[in-house]
Structure 1
Amino acid sequence: MDLNTQYVSVVDTNRLEKHRDIPLLSALKEYSLQDIAAFDVPGHKRGQGVKVLNQYFGHELMRMDVNSLPLLDNVSNAKGVIKEAQELLADAYHADAAFFMTNGTTSAIHCMLMSVLGPNDKVLLPRNIHKSALNGLILCGATPVYLPTEMLGKEGIACNVKPSDVESMLNQDSNIKAVFLLNPTYYGFVTDLEQIIQICHQRDVLVLVDEAHGAHFPFHPDLPPSGVELGADVSCVSIHKTGGALTQASALLVNKARIDVKKVQQVINMLQSTSCSYLLMSSLDGARQNLVLNGHEQLSKTIYLSEYARYKINQIPGLHTIEPIGVYHQSYDVTKLGVNVQGLGLTGFEVYDLMWKKYNIQLEMPDFNNVLAVISLGDQLKNINRLIEAFKDIASQHHKESNIEQTPFKLVSHPQVELSPRDAYFSEKELVPLEEAIGRLAGESILAYPPGIPIVAPGERITSEVIISLKQLKQSHAFLTDNVDKEMKQLLVIKENNLS
């Protein structure tokens, strides 16, 4: 019996039947069909008050946009259908507990950090974190300690961290309370998460995992293992990204051995809306059912399509797909189709724009040297072929010689942190010209989105390397966010008198 047959057999016999239930989605549908005289919110009154929404979204959807009701439970203190749906979600992800999150994994990361860290606690984390992690540190007051993050050659992509580096950093600083990891990075790189979890738990250090881009991992044996399945203490999954739920629908997953689940619920109730969208929550219920029942089959097709696309794109002159090397070769999310375009003399930003303007193809993101396509449950061979043909046409029609040797973009991998993000956030600040900011402490985050990795963060010493990176991004027309001066002529820095 091969591995795939074994996997399907385990799912069929032990878990399949109970995961056919969709308690929240079914209850919401049943309620929407009742003849209700609605004197509660929302104010559109089941689609009757705003006709244009009814026309564009459909009457059935508008009837299901409701607020907390006795029949439909309340996410702040779930006792009914939401509790049942969250328990099924926890089982699907091999976690002890699961919480619905309706403001994306951004909110889930804030809740995760606030649940386990406090002012002046130290957290070990890679530099290529999403900005939500940095903002979570502002909320909880913890101080970041950055891990070395390896770069993938001339592609300029941050990979992941090594277990040996995690162990070395923990040996150097016994005050580190938690390690925050990515599983995977935006481009699909993972690390030996199981070994890192063992290293951390031997020292009573918590393991927190941002799995925004790994919501599909537990549902196919050819994908990397998920965090909570390996024993991580808390993880966040963007089920809307690769699991099929509606946009913003995510989950916070908890293993109870080292985590106070009641405190997690308290933090969620503090940071999440009391009017969570039932459309988003019920989409998590439906997506979970689909992943357990159909995920293996759908992901087998997804993996095949991604491998097929890689083979075809690697035959196009000037292009190569981004592949794992060295330690990363052991485990990699093949569904993240990264393509290096430097050989065309084009930036990733230029190829991204060409794709949607000329070929009606929407990629996930560009950076200086690469573009990223996410292959997931709903992809079809015909669209994969459209993507391949578009790459062929760009390579033949838009190739430029002049930019092939451009200086690769480099992430500032080991910044000098002088103040905690929280202290920096609440300090007095001033705007200064770009060049005059060198040597000062940053008073703002600046990042290119996507992927949302900070180039500089509050409390960090601004170096010439930071200024060069920001100029490169501006010249390449990258979409920069969070900077106060939208022209990027000035930077917000902490006033000197705050530091005395």
Structure 2
Amino acid sequence: MWTTAQRRRLTETPYADALDRHAGAGIASFHALPIGSLAHAPDGDDSALAERTRRLFGSYLATELTLGSPELDSFFRAHRQLARSRRLTAEAFGADDTQYVTTGTTGANQVALEALRVAGARVLVDRSVHQSIHFALDRLGADVLYAPTSPTDTEHGVITALREAKAAGVEVDVVVVGVSAYDGSLVQMRRFLGALQELTAESGCRVLVDEAWTAIHAFHPWLRRLTAIHAIRETLAEHPDWPASFLVTHSTHKSMLALRQGSYLHVIGPDTLKATVRAALYRVHTTSPSLPVLASLDIARAHAVAEGTALVERALAQADRLRELARRVPWLAEHRPVATTSAYLADPMKVHLDLGTPERAQEVRAALFDEYGIFVSRQDGSTLLFTMHVGVTPEQVDLLVEALESVCCLDAPECSCGDERYIIAYPPGIPLQVPGEQLSAPPSRRAGEELYSTF
């Protein structure tokens, strides 16, 4: 994907290097309290809680600086090491510009919607996007149209809704779509963008693409072709006069070597959009960004360029091992919730195992954690979801295979949460109900029949 010279440049970590130099300098700060000062306290010179803090956070403390330094750059007006780091990341992904966000993709989505100026605009939304988008659109006063959620063999729900809106003479200003779901559902981006271009060839559109779960795909030769930015580039090359602009968010820590709360916000569009994003970042983002998170976003890109292909290949091989287990164990089966169609396909790094019954799945999930130290985040009925990220090792899969073959049955609780207008289960934070929808009453039952709650 890159020449030797490009690879050498893209594996530089200018911001992380600068932070590393400052972290070891023992600088006395008379600004806000730097928790990193605890890292330099002499033994016995402070409380037991301070000592516990050092044991818990270790060398991380030294990087938690409250320091303004020309080398560390300005977060909102970066022009040195942070600016260079962002440019390298934009180049690695193929974006025109990339901003770093230290308040998670929840924050990145809010910045993006501010930049797209959705207040008062008609916004067509894929209703399965993350709750942060729903709440931000509500807060900003957007005129929201929700697209149907049921995928078809031929067309994404957003395209169906856009086609219907155009036929009815309703103009859509902004399109918001989630293209890599928690459960492994991926949107066929080239087909999606081809249809979007056809419907907005003259009017253009502003698009927010939430690609939370698959940032690492950009660093694997085959999976890269499925990513949003790659598809956007190909579509714009075929239709250079299409007046569309794009923002793409990545929840970086979900698939790359970044600290939690680290997120990329990529821009594909004119300089005016870049400036609007920078202004929105200034309005929305905390003025106290985490320097360790910024450094981790720098390192994550370098690590992915250097080792991403090999690590994704390893993860795919481990996913195949789990699928092979499902084929040979009688009470286990692979469940494929996403069929490959012209609109959707399944992420090969996600494996769904069907345990037969919800009770069995619940018991296995609890036993995996209690007895083997294996965490499975999601249970959907009788199915457990295993994400084969690049941090999963063959040894961990060895343990998982052993556990699944011999696990005993225990109980495990479940929980969900919501508010008065949205019903949202977490994970993954996707609304089951959005404003304007009503839950149907259950069908009438004869006296004595047991009633079950929908949620």
Q: Give the TM-score normalised by structure 1.
A: 0.75
CA deviations 1:326-365 (Å, max 9, x no partner) are: 4069743211122233x24536544432321233210132
Task: For 1:187-206, list aligned pairs within 5 A.
Answer: 187-202=183-198, 203=200, 204-206=204-206
Match of residue 230 from structure 1: 231
Q: Determine the C-alpha separation between the residues in 2 that align with 1:264 and 1:43.
A: 30
Q: Determine the C-alpha separation between the residues in 2 that align with 1:73 and 1:351.
A: 49
Indicate the SS of the match to 1:464: coil
- 1:236 to 1:106, Cα distance in 2 relative to 1, 3 A: same
CA deviations 1:123-147 (Å, max 9, x no partner) are: 2222322111111112221133222
Match of residue 414 from structure 2: none
Q: Determine the C-alpha separation between the residues in 2 that align with 1:77 and 1:338.
A: 45
CA deviations 1:147-203 (Å, max 9, x no partner) are: 222369xxxxxx993575255345345321222222211121112212222332441
CA deviations 1:30-74 (Å, max 9, x no partner) are: 11121422212234352247332222211x321111124123112
1:27 aligns with 2:18: yes
Q: Determine the C-alpha separation between the residues in 2 that align with 1:307 and 1:45.
A: 43
8 Å CA contact 1:109–1:132 kept in 2: the answer is yes
Q: Determine the C-alpha separation between the residues in 1 that align with 2:362 and 2:430.
A: 16
Q: CA deviation at 1:14?
A: 5.3
CA deviations 1:362-411 (Å, max 9, x no partner) are: 013223342212111121112112222322334xx5499xxxxxxxxxxx
Q: Determine the C-alpha separation between the residues in 2 that align with 1:76 and 1:68.
A: 15
Task: For 1:179-190, list aligned pairs within 5 A.
Answer: 179-190=175-186
- 1:352 to 1:93, Cα distance in 2 relative to 1, 3 A: same
Match of residue 471 from structure 1: 453
Provide the aligned C-alpha RMSD in A.
3.0
The runs of at least 4 aligned residues of structure 1 exceeding 6 Å deviation read none
Q: Determine the C-alpha separation between the residues in 1 that align with 2:3 and 2:347.
A: 25
1:325 aligns with 2:339: yes
Work out the number of aligned pairs and report it: 412
Among 380, 391, 404, the alignment partner of 2:404 is 391
Match of residue 294 from structure 1: 307
Match of residue 348 from structure 2: 334
Between 1:74-83 and 1:166-175, the stretch displaced more is 166-175
The amino acid of 2:428's aligned partner reads P
Match of residue 235 from structure 2: none
Q: Determine the C-alpha separation between the residues in 2 that align with 1:330 and 1:463.
A: 28
Among 13, 20, 30, the alignment partner of 2:4 is 13
CA deviations 1:207-266 (Å, max 9, x no partner) are: 221111011111112325221222271110011010111111111111124961111111
Indicate the SS of the match to 1:447: strand
Q: Determine the C-alpha separation between the residues in 2 that align with 1:183 and 1:257.
A: 23
8 Å CA contact 1:179–1:206 kept in 2: the answer is yes
1:247 aligns with 2:242: no
Indicate the SS of the match to 1:391: helix
The amino acid of 2:160's aligned partner reads D
Between 1:102-111 and 1:225-234, the stretch displaced more is 225-234
Task: For 1:137-286, list aligned pairs within 5 A.
Answer: 137-150=137-150, 161=156, 165=160, 168-172=163-167, 174-202=170-198, 203=200, 204-223=204-223, 225-231=226-232, 233-257=246-270, 260-286=273-299
Indicate the SS of the match to 2:376: coil
Q: Determine the C-alpha separation between the residues in 2 that align with 1:21 and 1:269.
A: 27
Indicate the SS of the match to 2:163: helix
Match of residue 407 from structure 1: none
- 1:330 to 1:464, Cα distance in 2 relative to 1, 3 A: closer
Q: Determine the C-alpha separation between the residues in 2 that align with 1:14 and 1:109.
A: 33
- 1:31 to 1:167, Cα distance in 2 relative to 1, 3 A: same
Identity between Structure 1 and Structure 2 (%): 23
8 Å CA contact 1:239–1:245 kept in 2: the answer is yes
The amino acid of 1:244's aligned partner reads L
Indicate the SS of the match to 1:66: coil
Match of residue 454 from structure 1: 431
* Structure 1: segments with no counterpart, 5+ residues: 1-9, 153-158, 401-441, 474-500
Match of residue 498 from structure 1: none
The amino acid of 1:109's aligned partner reads N
* Structure 2: segments with no counterpart, 5+ residues: 233-244, 412-418, 443-450
Q: Determine the C-alpha separation between the residues in 2 that align with 1:160 and 1:185.
A: 17
Q: Determine the C-alpha separation between the residues in 1 that align with 2:87 and 2:271.
A: 19
1:106 aligns with 2:88: no
